[in-house]
A = this chain, B = another copy of it.
């Protein structure tokens, strides 16, 4: 099986980081978002939603959505808690990431870093700030109570949220008012096998 991804993308980095923390590897095929390589007929044939990362199996089956692929790659591992409540809590944080965090922090970073904050995108960039700070406040509240998002040990929830939170400054976000978030970033970086985002 193989992953199609862009190594500058936080959504793709989630899979690289998870594999590294597990001491695993997977074939990787580079796809350049900025060159439109997720919108070609060939890519859309693999995955109709035209987004990366995707995981392709040797028999042709394809999984999309970074957070879903993580569950496949980490099935049965300690990164997925076995209690029904903690598992639902893990999912809560992953859905929070896709709805309330990524559309603000990742998109602001994309406009700033990938597109170079062009004049016509400045209003959209500014409009992303309030939502991004709200998401960071939600994380801060949890991380003041527990070292990781779902308790005392690292789960997929932390990997999902780490991907764009640790580069939030590239989207214009100042993490100074979020000491628990900054401490958590250090804890994730200290995990055995950790690799940095290659962006």
Contacts and interface: CB of A to CB of B under 8 A. Distances in A.
Interface in A114-129: none
B84 A141 contact: no
B138 A96 contact: no
Interface stretch (A68-76, A175-183, A190-198): A68-76
Contact of A71 (B67, B88, B98): B88
- A: contact size bracket: 20 to 34
A26 to B, nearest CB: 14
Interface string A55-81: 000000101111111011001000000
Contacts of A100: 49, 51
Contacts of A137: 48
Contacts of A91: 65, 67-68, 71, 91
Contacts of A75: 84, 88
A72 B95 contact: no
Interface string A30-70: 00000000000000000011010000000001011111110
A186 interface: no
A48 B119 CA distance: 34
Given A98-B98, A99-B98, A89 B71 contact: no
Residue in A69, A94, A95, A96 with the greatest tally of chain B CB atoms within 10 Å: A95
Interface of A: 48-49, 51, 61, 63-69, 71-72, 75, 84-85, 87-89, 91-92, 94-96, 98-100, 102-103, 134, 137-138, 141-142
